[in-house]
Structure 1
Amino acid sequence: MNIDDVMVTKTIFNRFAKEFPDIFEVDVAIAGAGPAGLVAAKTLAETGKKIVLFERKLSIGGGMWGGGMTFPVIVVQKESKHILEDVGINVSDEGNGYFSADAIESVAKLTSAAIDAGAKFYNAISVEDVLLKDEIVNGFVINWSAVEAAGLHVDPLTIRASACIDATGHPAEVCHIARKKIRPKTGPLSKKQAFIEGSMSAHTGEQAVVDNTKEVYPGLYAAGMCANAVFGAHRMGPIFGGMLLSGEKVSDLILKQLK
Protein backbone atom coordinates (compact mmCIF):
# COMPACT_ATOMS: atom_id res chain seq x y z
CA MET A 1 0.00 0.00 0.00
CA ASN A 2 1.35 3.39 -1.04
CA ILE A 3 0.28 5.71 1.77
CA ASP A 4 -0.86 9.19 0.74
CA ASP A 5 -0.37 11.78 3.51
CA VAL A 6 -3.31 13.88 2.35
CA MET A 7 -5.59 10.85 2.33
CA VAL A 8 -4.76 10.40 6.01
CA THR A 9 -5.85 14.00 6.59
CA LYS A 10 -9.04 13.57 4.58
CA THR A 11 -9.94 10.35 6.39
CA ILE A 12 -9.60 11.97 9.82
CA PHE A 13 -11.51 15.10 8.86
CA ASN A 14 -14.29 13.31 6.99
CA ARG A 15 -15.00 10.89 9.82
CA PHE A 16 -15.00 13.66 12.42
CA ALA A 17 -17.26 15.82 10.24
CA LYS A 18 -19.65 12.89 9.84
CA GLU A 19 -19.81 11.90 13.53
CA PHE A 20 -19.60 15.19 15.44
CA PRO A 21 -22.98 16.62 14.32
CA ASP A 22 -24.67 13.55 15.79
CA ILE A 23 -23.96 14.80 19.33
CA PHE A 24 -25.40 18.30 18.87
CA GLU A 25 -28.62 17.06 20.50
CA VAL A 26 -28.41 14.20 23.00
CA ASP A 27 -30.27 12.71 25.93
CA VAL A 28 -27.43 13.17 28.42
CA ALA A 29 -24.21 15.18 28.26
CA ILE A 30 -21.45 14.39 30.75
CA ALA A 31 -18.48 16.57 31.67
CA GLY A 32 -15.54 14.59 33.02
CA ALA A 33 -14.41 11.05 32.20
CA GLY A 34 -13.38 9.92 35.66
CA PRO A 35 -14.83 6.80 37.30
CA ALA A 36 -18.27 8.30 37.98
CA GLY A 37 -18.54 9.74 34.48
CA LEU A 38 -17.46 6.47 32.87
CA VAL A 39 -19.97 4.40 34.84
CA ALA A 40 -22.75 6.88 34.11
CA ALA A 41 -21.93 6.88 30.39
CA LYS A 42 -21.98 3.09 30.25
CA THR A 43 -25.11 2.66 32.35
CA LEU A 44 -27.13 5.26 30.48
CA ALA A 45 -25.96 4.16 27.03
CA GLU A 46 -26.98 0.58 27.79
CA THR A 47 -30.59 1.77 28.04
CA GLY A 48 -30.46 3.14 24.50
CA LYS A 49 -30.05 6.79 25.47
CA LYS A 50 -27.83 9.00 23.34
CA ILE A 51 -24.82 9.91 25.49
CA VAL A 52 -21.86 12.20 24.92
CA LEU A 53 -18.98 12.64 27.33
CA PHE A 54 -16.50 15.52 27.17
CA GLU A 55 -13.08 15.33 28.83
CA ARG A 56 -10.85 18.40 28.99
CA LYS A 57 -7.63 16.35 29.05
CA LEU A 58 -6.22 14.13 26.33
CA SER A 59 -6.59 11.07 28.55
CA ILE A 60 -9.75 9.78 30.18
CA GLY A 61 -9.91 8.11 33.60
CA GLY A 62 -9.58 11.05 35.98
CA GLY A 63 -7.68 10.15 39.14
CA MET A 64 -8.10 6.42 38.66
CA TRP A 65 -5.00 6.00 36.46
CA GLY A 66 -2.62 6.84 39.29
CA GLY A 67 -4.14 4.54 41.90
CA GLY A 68 -2.62 5.62 45.19
CA MET A 69 0.51 7.81 44.90
CA THR A 70 1.10 6.37 41.40
CA PHE A 71 0.92 2.75 42.61
CA PRO A 72 -1.49 1.50 39.89
CA VAL A 73 -3.88 -0.22 42.29
CA ILE A 74 -7.34 0.90 43.40
CA VAL A 75 -9.50 -0.27 46.30
CA VAL A 76 -13.26 -0.83 46.28
CA GLN A 77 -15.77 -2.23 48.76
CA LYS A 78 -17.99 -5.28 48.41
CA GLU A 79 -21.01 -3.10 47.58
CA SER A 80 -19.37 -1.71 44.44
CA LYS A 81 -17.14 -4.49 43.13
CA HIS A 82 -19.92 -5.78 40.86
CA ILE A 83 -19.50 -2.69 38.69
CA LEU A 84 -15.92 -3.69 37.93
CA GLU A 85 -16.69 -7.38 37.57
CA ASP A 86 -19.55 -6.66 35.15
CA VAL A 87 -17.05 -5.34 32.60
CA GLY A 88 -14.51 -8.11 33.13
CA ILE A 89 -12.11 -6.38 35.51
CA ASN A 90 -10.17 -8.77 37.73
CA VAL A 91 -10.99 -8.02 41.37
CA SER A 92 -8.97 -9.50 44.24
CA ASP A 93 -10.40 -10.13 47.70
CA GLU A 94 -7.93 -8.63 50.17
CA GLY A 95 -9.98 -9.56 53.24
CA ASN A 96 -12.02 -7.57 55.76
CA GLY A 97 -14.31 -6.23 53.04
CA TYR A 98 -11.55 -4.64 50.93
CA PHE A 99 -11.09 -5.53 47.27
CA SER A 100 -8.34 -4.40 44.90
CA ALA A 101 -8.11 -3.98 41.14
CA ASP A 102 -5.52 -2.87 38.63
CA ALA A 103 -5.98 0.85 37.98
CA ILE A 104 -5.01 0.68 34.31
CA GLU A 105 -7.25 -2.29 33.61
CA SER A 106 -10.12 -0.57 35.40
CA VAL A 107 -9.95 2.59 33.31
CA ALA A 108 -9.45 0.71 30.05
CA LYS A 109 -12.31 -1.73 30.53
CA LEU A 110 -14.80 0.79 31.91
CA THR A 111 -14.06 3.03 28.93
CA SER A 112 -14.33 0.19 26.45
CA ALA A 113 -17.64 -0.93 27.98
CA ALA A 114 -19.08 2.59 27.74
CA ILE A 115 -18.05 2.91 24.09
CA ASP A 116 -19.39 -0.56 23.27
CA ALA A 117 -22.70 0.46 24.86
CA GLY A 118 -22.90 3.42 22.47
CA ALA A 119 -21.55 6.37 24.45
CA LYS A 120 -19.54 8.88 22.42
CA PHE A 121 -16.35 10.34 23.90
CA TYR A 122 -14.63 13.59 22.96
CA ASN A 123 -11.36 14.37 24.69
CA ALA A 124 -9.49 17.69 24.74
CA ILE A 125 -12.82 19.54 24.93
CA SER A 126 -13.79 21.71 27.89
CA VAL A 127 -17.20 22.81 29.09
CA GLU A 128 -17.02 26.57 29.54
CA ASP A 129 -20.68 27.42 30.10
CA VAL A 130 -24.15 25.90 30.33
CA LEU A 131 -27.09 26.35 27.99
CA LEU A 132 -30.06 27.70 29.93
CA LYS A 133 -33.69 27.55 28.82
CA ASP A 134 -36.64 28.41 31.05
CA GLU A 135 -34.32 28.32 34.08
CA ILE A 136 -33.30 24.73 33.28
CA VAL A 137 -29.79 23.62 32.29
CA ASN A 138 -30.39 22.34 28.79
CA GLY A 139 -26.91 21.66 27.43
CA PHE A 140 -23.20 22.47 27.44
CA VAL A 141 -21.17 25.23 25.83
CA ILE A 142 -17.91 23.66 24.65
CA ASN A 143 -14.53 24.66 23.29
CA TRP A 144 -11.17 23.04 22.63
CA SER A 145 -9.10 22.84 25.81
CA ALA A 146 -6.12 24.14 23.86
CA VAL A 147 -8.00 27.36 23.10
CA GLU A 148 -8.58 27.92 26.80
CA ALA A 149 -4.97 27.04 27.68
CA ALA A 150 -3.63 29.46 25.08
CA GLY A 151 -5.90 32.27 26.25
CA LEU A 152 -7.29 32.76 22.75
CA HIS A 153 -10.51 34.70 22.24
CA VAL A 154 -12.49 32.09 20.31
CA ASP A 155 -16.23 31.74 20.65
CA PRO A 156 -17.49 28.28 21.67
CA LEU A 157 -20.18 26.01 20.28
CA THR A 158 -23.29 24.72 22.03
CA ILE A 159 -24.86 21.27 22.32
CA ARG A 160 -28.31 20.49 23.71
CA ALA A 161 -29.06 17.75 26.27
CA SER A 162 -32.14 16.71 28.21
CA ALA A 163 -29.94 16.21 31.28
CA CYS A 164 -26.37 17.21 32.12
CA ILE A 165 -23.89 15.67 34.55
CA ASP A 166 -20.94 17.40 36.19
CA ALA A 167 -18.43 14.62 36.87
CA THR A 168 -15.34 16.85 36.76
CA GLY A 169 -14.08 15.78 40.18
CA HIS A 170 -12.63 18.13 42.79
CA PRO A 171 -12.90 21.28 40.60
CA ALA A 172 -16.68 20.81 40.08
CA GLU A 173 -16.23 22.93 36.97
CA VAL A 174 -19.76 22.97 35.60
CA CYS A 175 -21.36 23.53 39.00
CA HIS A 176 -19.01 26.46 39.60
CA ILE A 177 -20.08 27.93 36.26
CA ALA A 178 -23.76 27.45 37.08
CA ARG A 179 -23.37 29.09 40.48
CA LYS A 180 -21.49 32.07 39.05
CA LYS A 181 -23.65 32.70 36.01
CA ILE A 182 -27.12 31.56 37.05
CA ARG A 183 -26.79 32.83 40.64
CA PRO A 184 -29.50 30.51 42.04
CA LYS A 185 -31.39 31.84 45.05
CA THR A 186 -32.20 28.37 46.42
CA GLY A 187 -30.79 24.86 46.27
CA PRO A 188 -27.31 23.41 46.84
CA LEU A 189 -25.49 25.88 44.59
CA SER A 190 -26.83 28.84 46.58
CA LYS A 191 -25.46 27.75 49.96
CA LYS A 192 -22.48 29.56 51.49
CA GLN A 193 -20.70 26.33 52.42
CA ALA A 194 -20.88 25.00 48.86
CA PHE A 195 -17.54 24.14 47.24
CA ILE A 196 -15.62 24.08 50.55
CA GLU A 197 -14.34 20.52 50.23
CA GLY A 198 -13.48 18.66 53.43
CA SER A 199 -10.18 16.99 54.28
CA MET A 200 -9.39 13.29 53.91
CA SER A 201 -11.82 10.92 55.61
CA ALA A 202 -12.51 7.83 53.53
CA HIS A 203 -15.23 6.43 55.78
CA THR A 204 -17.41 9.56 55.73
CA GLY A 205 -16.42 10.61 52.23
CA GLU A 206 -17.40 7.30 50.64
CA GLN A 207 -20.93 7.37 52.01
CA ALA A 208 -21.31 11.08 51.36
CA VAL A 209 -20.39 10.83 47.68
CA VAL A 210 -23.38 8.56 47.08
CA ASP A 211 -25.73 10.61 49.27
CA ASN A 212 -24.64 13.85 47.58
CA THR A 213 -25.16 12.54 44.05
CA LYS A 214 -28.26 14.45 43.05
CA GLU A 215 -29.76 17.17 40.90
CA VAL A 216 -28.14 20.38 42.12
CA TYR A 217 -30.01 22.68 39.74
CA PRO A 218 -32.84 21.84 37.34
CA GLY A 219 -31.26 19.79 34.56
CA LEU A 220 -27.80 19.62 36.18
CA TYR A 221 -26.59 16.68 38.27
CA ALA A 222 -23.44 16.33 40.35
CA ALA A 223 -21.68 12.96 40.48
CA GLY A 224 -18.43 11.56 41.83
CA MET A 225 -16.03 13.75 43.74
CA CYS A 226 -17.79 16.76 42.25
CA ALA A 227 -20.81 15.95 44.42
CA ASN A 228 -18.73 16.01 47.60
CA ALA A 229 -17.02 19.22 46.50
CA VAL A 230 -20.37 20.93 45.94
CA PHE A 231 -21.75 19.87 49.32
CA GLY A 232 -18.55 20.49 51.28
CA ALA A 233 -18.05 16.83 52.16
CA HIS A 234 -14.80 14.93 52.73
CA ARG A 235 -12.47 13.49 50.12
CA MET A 236 -11.62 9.79 50.24
CA GLY A 237 -8.41 9.17 48.31
CA PRO A 238 -7.71 6.00 46.28
CA ILE A 239 -10.81 4.05 47.32
CA PHE A 240 -13.20 4.23 44.38
CA GLY A 241 -16.31 2.31 45.40
CA GLY A 242 -18.28 5.45 46.15
CA MET A 243 -17.34 6.97 42.80
CA LEU A 244 -18.58 3.91 40.94
CA LEU A 245 -21.83 3.79 42.91
CA SER A 246 -22.29 7.50 42.30
CA GLY A 247 -22.16 6.85 38.56
CA GLU A 248 -24.88 4.23 38.96
CA LYS A 249 -27.03 6.46 41.13
CA VAL A 250 -26.91 9.49 38.85
CA SER A 251 -27.91 7.24 35.96
CA ASP A 252 -30.94 5.99 37.88
CA LEU A 253 -31.97 9.54 38.80
CA ILE A 254 -31.75 10.72 35.21
CA LEU A 255 -33.56 7.72 33.77
CA LYS A 256 -36.47 8.38 36.13
CA GLN A 257 -36.52 12.03 35.05
CA LEU A 258 -36.39 11.23 31.33
CA LYS A 259 -39.32 8.78 31.44
Structure 2
Amino acid sequence: DADEEEEKEDEEEEEEEEKKGRGRQPPSDVGEGRTVFIRNLSFDTEEEALGEMLQQFGDLKYVRVVLHPDTEHSKGCAFAQFLTQEAAQKCLQAAQEESEGGGLRLDGRLLRIDLAVSREEAQKLRGQKVKKPTGTRNLYLAREGLIRAGTKAAEGVSDADMAKRARFEELKYQKLRDQNIFVSRTRLCVHNLPKAVDSVRLRRLLLQVAGRGKAVHIKECRVMRELRGKGQSLGYAFVEFGEHEQALAALRSINNNPRLFGAQK
Protein backbone atom coordinates (compact mmCIF):
# COMPACT_ATOMS: atom_id res chain seq x y z
CA ASP A 1 0.00 0.00 0.00
CA ALA A 2 1.49 3.36 -1.08
CA ASP A 3 0.12 5.22 1.95
CA GLU A 4 1.68 2.76 4.37
CA GLU A 5 5.04 2.96 2.58
CA GLU A 6 4.95 6.76 2.71
CA GLU A 7 4.10 6.73 6.40
CA LYS A 8 6.93 4.30 7.14
CA GLU A 9 9.36 6.52 5.23
CA ASP A 10 8.21 9.59 7.17
CA GLU A 11 8.70 7.84 10.50
CA GLU A 12 12.19 6.72 9.51
CA GLU A 13 13.00 10.29 8.54
CA GLU A 14 11.82 11.55 11.92
CA GLU A 15 13.93 8.93 13.66
CA GLU A 16 16.98 9.77 11.55
CA GLU A 17 16.68 13.46 12.41
CA GLU A 18 16.67 12.63 16.11
CA LYS A 19 19.87 10.61 15.68
CA LYS A 20 21.80 13.25 13.76
CA GLY A 21 21.46 16.19 16.14
CA ARG A 22 22.11 18.94 13.61
CA GLY A 23 22.73 21.67 16.19
CA ARG A 24 19.25 23.14 15.94
CA GLN A 25 17.49 19.87 16.75
CA PRO A 26 14.73 20.24 19.39
CA PRO A 27 15.46 18.89 22.88
CA SER A 28 14.13 15.50 24.01
CA ASP A 29 10.68 16.74 25.04
CA VAL A 30 8.50 14.51 22.88
CA GLY A 31 7.20 12.58 25.88
CA GLU A 32 5.36 15.66 27.17
CA GLY A 33 2.67 15.58 24.47
CA ARG A 34 3.29 19.19 23.43
CA THR A 35 5.55 18.62 20.42
CA VAL A 36 4.22 17.95 16.92
CA PHE A 37 6.01 16.68 13.82
CA ILE A 38 4.94 18.36 10.59
CA ARG A 39 5.38 16.71 7.17
CA ASN A 40 4.72 17.75 3.58
CA LEU A 41 6.00 21.30 4.07
CA SER A 42 6.92 23.31 1.02
CA PHE A 43 10.70 23.47 0.73
CA ASP A 44 10.26 27.26 0.64
CA THR A 45 8.27 27.52 3.88
CA GLU A 46 10.18 29.37 6.60
CA GLU A 47 9.91 28.91 10.36
CA GLU A 48 8.35 32.34 10.84
CA ALA A 49 5.46 31.63 8.45
CA LEU A 50 4.87 28.19 9.96
CA GLY A 51 4.90 29.67 13.46
CA GLU A 52 2.37 32.34 12.49
CA MET A 53 -0.03 29.67 11.26
CA LEU A 54 0.40 27.43 14.33
CA GLN A 55 -0.09 30.27 16.82
CA GLN A 56 -3.85 30.14 16.26
CA PHE A 57 -3.87 27.03 18.46
CA GLY A 58 -1.76 28.42 21.31
CA ASP A 59 1.60 29.89 22.28
CA LEU A 60 4.70 28.18 20.94
CA LYS A 61 8.04 27.44 22.55
CA TYR A 62 9.78 26.86 19.22
CA VAL A 63 9.32 25.99 15.56
CA ARG A 64 12.22 24.28 13.77
CA VAL A 65 12.33 23.31 10.13
CA VAL A 66 14.48 20.20 9.62
CA LEU A 67 17.43 20.91 7.32
CA HIS A 68 19.49 18.53 5.24
CA PRO A 69 22.87 18.20 7.03
CA ASP A 70 24.86 18.63 3.81
CA THR A 71 22.96 21.32 1.92
CA GLU A 72 21.22 23.11 4.81
CA HIS A 73 18.07 23.09 2.67
CA SER A 74 14.68 22.20 4.12
CA LYS A 75 13.75 18.51 4.08
CA GLY A 76 10.04 19.39 3.97
CA CYS A 77 9.34 18.66 7.63
CA ALA A 78 9.53 20.47 10.97
CA PHE A 79 9.07 20.20 14.71
CA ALA A 80 6.98 22.60 16.79
CA GLN A 81 6.45 22.64 20.53
CA PHE A 82 3.44 24.31 22.14
CA LEU A 83 3.41 25.53 25.72
CA THR A 84 0.41 23.32 26.55
CA GLN A 85 -0.87 19.88 25.58
CA GLU A 86 -4.27 21.43 24.86
CA ALA A 87 -2.79 23.65 22.15
CA ALA A 88 -1.05 20.67 20.57
CA GLN A 89 -4.35 18.73 20.53
CA LYS A 90 -6.15 21.67 18.88
CA CYS A 91 -3.50 21.67 16.17
CA LEU A 92 -3.82 17.92 15.60
CA GLN A 93 -7.61 18.17 15.35
CA ALA A 94 -7.52 21.03 12.85
CA ALA A 95 -5.03 19.11 10.70
CA GLN A 96 -7.52 16.29 10.08
CA GLU A 97 -8.68 16.19 6.47
CA GLU A 98 -12.35 15.87 7.44
CA SER A 99 -12.31 19.36 8.98
CA GLU A 100 -14.32 22.10 7.25
CA GLY A 101 -11.29 23.51 5.48
CA GLY A 102 -10.01 20.05 4.58
CA GLY A 103 -7.05 20.25 6.97
CA LEU A 104 -4.23 22.77 7.40
CA ARG A 105 -2.57 24.25 4.32
CA LEU A 106 0.49 26.45 4.02
CA ASP A 107 2.18 27.66 0.85
CA GLY A 108 -0.11 25.45 -1.20
CA ARG A 109 0.66 22.23 0.70
CA LEU A 110 -1.69 20.12 2.83
CA LEU A 111 0.27 19.58 6.04
CA ARG A 112 0.46 16.19 7.76
CA ILE A 113 0.78 16.71 11.50
CA ASP A 114 1.26 14.11 14.23
CA LEU A 115 2.49 14.09 17.79
CA ALA A 116 6.26 13.72 17.77
CA VAL A 117 7.44 10.45 19.29
CA SER A 118 10.77 9.19 20.60
CA ARG A 119 12.98 6.90 18.54
CA GLU A 120 11.96 3.94 20.71
CA GLU A 121 8.26 4.74 20.35
CA ALA A 122 8.60 5.12 16.57
CA GLN A 123 10.15 1.66 16.38
CA LYS A 124 7.36 0.24 18.53
CA LEU A 125 4.66 1.84 16.35
CA ARG A 126 6.22 0.44 13.19
CA GLY A 127 6.22 -2.99 14.79
CA GLN A 128 2.53 -2.66 15.65
CA LYS A 129 1.58 -1.62 12.12
CA VAL A 130 2.78 -4.87 10.59
CA LYS A 131 0.45 -6.82 12.86
CA LYS A 132 -3.07 -7.54 11.70
CA PRO A 133 -5.54 -5.27 13.46
CA THR A 134 -7.83 -7.03 15.89
CA GLY A 135 -11.25 -6.12 17.23
CA THR A 136 -13.95 -3.98 15.68
CA ARG A 137 -13.24 -0.81 13.74
CA ASN A 138 -16.87 0.28 14.15
CA LEU A 139 -17.20 0.66 10.37
CA TYR A 140 -20.98 0.36 10.60
CA LEU A 141 -20.97 3.78 12.29
CA ALA A 142 -19.40 5.35 9.20
CA ARG A 143 -22.83 5.16 7.54
CA GLU A 144 -24.51 7.17 10.28
CA GLY A 145 -25.51 10.63 9.07
CA LEU A 146 -25.15 9.74 5.38
CA ILE A 147 -27.71 11.47 3.16
CA ARG A 148 -28.05 10.02 -0.33
CA ALA A 149 -29.20 12.11 -3.27
CA GLY A 150 -32.76 11.32 -4.34
CA THR A 151 -33.88 10.08 -0.92
CA LYS A 152 -36.48 11.70 1.32
CA ALA A 153 -33.74 12.87 3.68
CA ALA A 154 -32.17 14.84 0.82
CA GLU A 155 -35.34 16.85 0.11
CA GLY A 156 -34.70 20.55 0.65
CA VAL A 157 -30.93 20.11 0.91
CA SER A 158 -29.12 22.51 -1.43
CA ASP A 159 -26.83 21.28 -4.19
CA ALA A 160 -23.90 23.03 -2.49
CA ASP A 161 -24.61 21.24 0.78
CA MET A 162 -24.93 17.87 -0.96
CA ALA A 163 -21.63 18.46 -2.77
CA LYS A 164 -19.94 19.29 0.52
CA ARG A 165 -21.36 16.17 2.15
CA ALA A 166 -20.16 14.06 -0.77
CA ARG A 167 -16.64 15.45 -0.41
CA PHE A 168 -16.54 14.63 3.30
CA GLU A 169 -17.83 11.11 2.62
CA GLU A 170 -15.10 10.55 0.05
CA LEU A 171 -12.40 11.78 2.46
CA LYS A 172 -13.79 9.57 5.21
CA TYR A 173 -13.71 6.40 3.14
CA GLN A 174 -10.24 7.19 1.84
CA LYS A 175 -9.01 7.30 5.43
CA LEU A 176 -10.87 4.12 6.37
CA ARG A 177 -8.93 2.19 3.74
CA ASP A 178 -6.13 2.23 6.30
CA GLN A 179 -6.70 -0.87 8.45
CA ASN A 180 -5.32 0.98 11.49
CA ILE A 181 -8.05 3.65 11.37
CA PHE A 182 -11.31 3.10 13.23
CA VAL A 183 -14.53 5.06 13.75
CA SER A 184 -14.87 6.53 17.23
CA ARG A 185 -17.99 5.56 19.16
CA THR A 186 -18.02 8.78 21.20
CA ARG A 187 -16.42 11.50 19.06
CA LEU A 188 -18.16 13.68 16.44
CA CYS A 189 -17.00 16.28 13.95
CA VAL A 190 -19.86 18.77 13.43
CA HIS A 191 -19.80 20.70 10.12
CA ASN A 192 -21.77 23.60 8.64
CA LEU A 193 -22.16 25.54 11.89
CA PRO A 194 -23.35 29.16 11.75
CA LYS A 195 -20.48 31.56 12.39
CA ALA A 196 -22.27 32.97 15.46
CA VAL A 197 -22.36 29.61 17.26
CA ASP A 198 -19.53 29.31 19.79
CA SER A 199 -18.39 26.36 21.92
CA VAL A 200 -20.63 27.32 24.85
CA ARG A 201 -23.79 27.55 22.75
CA LEU A 202 -23.02 24.33 20.89
CA ARG A 203 -22.40 22.46 24.15
CA ARG A 204 -25.70 23.73 25.56
CA LEU A 205 -27.55 22.57 22.45
CA LEU A 206 -25.94 19.13 22.48
CA LEU A 207 -26.72 18.64 26.16
CA GLN A 208 -30.39 19.20 25.30
CA VAL A 209 -30.63 16.87 22.31
CA ALA A 210 -28.37 14.03 23.52
CA GLY A 211 -29.79 13.48 27.00
CA ARG A 212 -33.46 12.80 26.39
CA GLY A 213 -34.10 13.44 30.05
CA LYS A 214 -30.87 11.83 31.26
CA ALA A 215 -27.62 13.40 32.42
CA VAL A 216 -25.12 13.92 29.60
CA HIS A 217 -21.35 14.09 29.95
CA ILE A 218 -19.51 16.00 27.21
CA LYS A 219 -15.76 15.59 27.60
CA GLU A 220 -14.89 18.15 24.93
CA CYS A 221 -16.72 20.66 22.75
CA ARG A 222 -14.54 22.96 20.69
CA VAL A 223 -15.53 25.20 17.78
CA MET A 224 -12.44 25.74 15.61
CA ARG A 225 -11.49 29.34 14.86
CA GLU A 226 -9.41 31.40 12.42
CA LEU A 227 -5.82 32.41 13.05
CA ARG A 228 -6.06 36.16 12.52
CA GLY A 229 -8.39 39.00 13.40
CA LYS A 230 -11.21 38.28 15.81
CA GLY A 231 -10.82 34.53 15.59
CA GLN A 232 -13.99 33.97 13.57
CA SER A 233 -15.50 30.49 13.64
CA LEU A 234 -14.39 28.14 10.86
CA GLY A 235 -17.85 26.56 10.84
CA TYR A 236 -16.99 23.19 12.35
CA ALA A 237 -16.35 21.68 15.78
CA PHE A 238 -15.07 18.58 17.55
CA VAL A 239 -17.25 17.04 20.26
CA GLU A 240 -16.56 14.04 22.48
CA PHE A 241 -19.23 12.44 24.65
CA GLY A 242 -18.78 10.21 27.66
CA GLU A 243 -21.06 7.51 26.22
CA HIS A 244 -21.70 6.11 22.75
CA GLU A 245 -25.49 6.28 23.07
CA GLN A 246 -25.33 10.01 23.75
CA ALA A 247 -23.05 10.66 20.78
CA LEU A 248 -25.40 8.69 18.53
CA ALA A 249 -28.47 10.53 19.84
CA ALA A 250 -26.79 13.88 19.23
CA LEU A 251 -25.75 12.94 15.70
CA ARG A 252 -29.25 11.78 14.77
CA SER A 253 -30.86 14.88 16.30
CA ILE A 254 -28.69 17.58 14.73
CA ASN A 255 -27.76 16.04 11.37
CA ASN A 256 -29.54 17.92 8.56
CA ASN A 257 -31.93 19.55 11.07
CA PRO A 258 -33.08 22.95 9.70
CA ARG A 259 -34.89 23.77 12.94
CA LEU A 260 -31.68 24.15 14.94
CA PHE A 261 -30.35 27.40 13.51
CA GLY A 262 -32.84 28.37 10.81
CA ALA A 263 -31.66 31.09 8.46
CA GLN A 264 -28.44 31.61 10.43
CA LYS A 265 -26.74 28.65 8.72
Higher RCO, Cα 8 Å, sep 6+? 1
Q: TM-score, normalised by structure 1?
A: 0.24
Q: TM-score, normalised by structure 2?
A: 0.24
